[in-house]
Amino acid sequence: MTDAPAQAADESAPPVKFWPRGWWRWMEHRIGVVPLPIFLLLAAVLAGLLGRGGRSNEIKVWIAVLALLGFACAEIGKRIPVLRNIGGAAICATFVPSYLDFQHLIAETLARSVTDFTKSTNFLYLFIAAIIVRSVLSMDRAVLI
């Protein structure tokens, strides 16, 4: 048996419009820290840039590439059943890109550009410093004192 008053109330409710509530509902879905619509827009822009053969040496472009691919790999690692219990996000974000490059599944332009970026800007030093600072700041205050 269905509840007639509840069903009538559902039918009389106005449909939810996409703007602004539907948009913000999509913005709540995230891949890493990036909202899903922004992630998809960024992926389309970067795919268009790389598809045209463009190689930009600007730091903002390559941070976007690294964030996009890193968060995508981490999201995959969070969804694999056994792997997610042993740190699958970090494992996939670290090793999947290296494996894809080893198997030549990443475009040569992209792999060469990321390598040039990390070597020329010393990005790894910044990344390692950020990891150390995050681990220190996430410690219990009583332990630090």
Cα 37 to Cα 74: distance, rounded to the nearest angstrom: 18
Query: What spatial distance separates the first Cα and last Cα of the chain, rounded to whole Å?
Result: 63
Q: Give the residue extent of every domain in the chain.
A: 17-144
Cβ neighbours of residue 61 closer than 8 Å, sequence gap 6 or more: 46, 49
48, two tokens: 């268009």
Torsion sign across C-alpha atoms 30, 33, 35, 40: negative
Question: pLDDT in tens for each of the 145 residues of the chain?
Answer: 555 555 555 566 666 677 777 778 888 888 888 899 989 998 998 888 877 776 666 777 777 888 888 899 989 998 888 888 888 888 888 888 889 889 998 878 778 878 888 888 887 888 889 888 888 888 888 887 7
